[in-house]
Amino acid sequence: MINVTIDGVRVEVPKGATILEAAQEAGIRIPTLCYLKKLSPIGSCRMCVVEVEGCTKPVTACDTPAGDGMVVTTDSEELREMRRDVLRLLLVRHPLDCPVCDKGGECDLQDLVYEFGVTAESYRTEPFERDVPRYVSPFIRQWPDRCVLCGRCVRACKEVKGVGCIQIVDNGFYSYIGPVPGVECISCGECLSVCPVGALTDSVHPTKARIWQAERVPTTCGYCGVGCQLELNVLNGEVIRVTTTDFDRAPNFGSLCVKGRFGWEFVNHPDRLEKPLVRKDGELKEATWDEALGLVARKLQEIKDEHGADAVGGLSSARCTNEENYLFQKFMRAVIGTNNVDHCARL
């Protein structure tokens, strides 16, 4: 363990911890943009610059290891001006188009620009091309002019998913996130979930909503058995997208696969059954609940009375909740009176 002093607060951190981690330990916030806990730090955006006693120049906190006895200052007028400059330079390319951006309201850049009082696009250049060839995934729309080249998406794709299908292409002002030739995207949307700005947006549902308009309901994914935690975003009684904003939640820590992130449209599908159906003259016709359940109750009772309880079988479901499975087998065992209950665990 080593001792570090951050803004006058002394903390003990393990050897190898960065200045940023030491500051977090001390409860002191350092502004960041390209940093994300689950990714390797690269010190590229320079928002996290801090002064270290004895160093002539400020250093980036996210990727500089804390040293024993180090004395760090995270906030000064000079640092604030440096951070403002970082933001002004990002705004050369990034338009202040927050009113038309999906990310408006939970954008790291928007928050920082607001916090540091940068109120105008101070430097001018020709606008960066907005329309580009399709992104690597058809589930995601790319807005290259909004990209701040933090490289979170590139690192997440490689480090978290082990795919590495995107990279920073070209140089300087003209850099953009483009495909890595020969590496196929799996459309997991990890890049989308870590983008701090609106450079990558979900393109599945035509309906958009301001962040504060849609309700986010945390729940468990309905596909495989991993049980990923995700948020259903709901507007006017319809799911419009899936997000993961809590990167500390097990078991997936904000990651999903193509099904979990983009496979929710079935919920709104017009094929959804909306009324009970009863077969009449060989055809399934709409019926009331009372009619349908009455018929089921009568038929099951008849068959039970005539052929015994074991003439009835039931399949419960690996797709339904625990509570529903419990109730189903209770119904089969206590009401029908048979142990003929199974589900597709074997299939």
Partner 1 sequence: MTNSIACVDKAQAFLVIGSNTTENHPIIGDRVKRAVTQRGAGLVVIDPRRIELAEYANVFLQVKPGHNIPVILGMMHVILKEGLHAPDYIAERCEGFEEFAASLEAHSPEKVQQITGVDADLIRKAARVYAGAKPASILYAMGVTQHTQGTDAVKCLANLAMLTGNVGVEGGGVNPLRGQNNVQGACDMGGLPNVVTGYQKVGDDEAMAKFDEAWGRKVPREPGLTVTEMGHAALEGKIRALYVMGENPMITDPDLHHIEKALETLNFLVVQDIFLTETAAKADVVLPACSFAEKDGTFTNTERKVQRVRAALAPRGECKPDWQIVQELSTKMGYPMSYAHPREIFEEIASLTPSYAGIDYDRIEREGIPWPCPDRDHPGTPVLHVERFARGKGLFQVVEYKGPAEEADDEYPLILTTGREHPHYHSGSMTRRCGRINDCFPEGFLEMHPADAERLGLHTGDGVRVASRRGEITTKVKVVDRPAPGTVFLSFHYSESPVNVLTNPATCPVAKIPEYKVTAVRVEKA
| Binding residues for partner 1 restricted to 258-277, rule: CB under 8 A | 258-259, 262-267, 269, 271-277
Measuring CA to CA, which residue among 167, 168, 176, 171 is closest to residue 144? 176
The reply to whether 1 sits near partner 1 by the rule CB under 8 A is no
The reply to whether 250 sits near partner 1 by the rule CB under 8 A is yes
Residues 194-213 that bind partner 1 (CB under 8 A): 204
Q: Between 122 and 339, whose beta carbon lies closer to partner 1? A: 339
For residue 59, the minimal CB distance to partner 1 (Å) is: 26
Q: Are 308 and 340 in contact (CB under 8 A)?
A: no
Q: What six digits make up the tokens of 319?
A: 């797709």
The reply to whether 169 sits near partner 1 by the rule CB under 8 A is no
Residues 117-146 that bind partner 1 (CB under 8 A): 138-139
The reply to whether 180 sits near partner 1 by the rule CB under 8 A is no
Cross-strand pairs, 73: 51
Q: Which distant-in-sequence residues (6+ apart) come within 8 Å of 19 by Cβ?
A: 4, 6, 30, 50, 52, 59, 61, 62, 64, 65, 66, 70, 72
Q: Which residue from 188, 191, 197, 200 is in contact with partner 1, where contact means CB under 8 A?
A: 188
| Pairing label, strands 49-52, 70-73 | antiparallel
Span of 59-67, 80-88, 144-152, 322-330 interacting with partner 1 by CB under 8 A:
322-330
Q: Which residue from 173, 217, 245, 305 is in contact with partner 1, where contact means CB under 8 A?
A: 217
Q: What six digits make up the tokens of 254?
A: 């904000």
The reply to whether 244 sits near partner 1 by the rule CB under 8 A is no
Q: Which residue from 12, 68, 97, 342 is in contact with partner 1, where contact means CB under 8 A?
A: 342
The reply to whether 321 sits near partner 1 by the rule CB under 8 A is yes
Query: Which residue do the tokens 């082990």 mark?
Result: 162
The reply to whether 100 sits near partner 1 by the rule CB under 8 A is no
The reply to whether 232 sits near partner 1 by the rule CB under 8 A is yes
Quote the CA–CA distance of 53 and 133 in Å, as a whole number: 48
Measuring CA to CA, which residue among 327, 331, 337, 277 is closest to residue 303? 337
The reply to whether 96 sits near partner 1 by the rule CB under 8 A is no
The reply to whether 311 sits near partner 1 by the rule CB under 8 A is yes
Q: Which residue from 53, 78, 215, 305 is in contact with partner 1, where contact means CB under 8 A?
A: 215
Query: Which residue do the tokens 């009772």 mark?
Result: 301
Quote the CA–CA distance of 94 and 343 in Å, as a whole number: 53
The reply to whether 37 sits near partner 1 by the rule CB under 8 A is no
For residue 278, the minimal CB distance to partner 1 (Å) is: 5
Q: Between 81 and 291, whose beta carbon lies closer to partner 1? A: 291
Distant-in-sequence contacts of 329-334, Cβ < 8 A, 24+ apart? none
Cross-strand pairs, 234: 215, 239
For residue 294, the minimal CB distance to partner 1 (Å) is: 7
Span of 7-15, 24-32, 84-92, 302-310 interacting with partner 1 by CB under 8 A:
302-310
Say how many Å lie between the first and final Cα of the chain, rounded.
53
Return the DSSP state at 127: P
Residues 277-296 that bind partner 1 (CB under 8 A): 277-279, 284, 289, 292-296
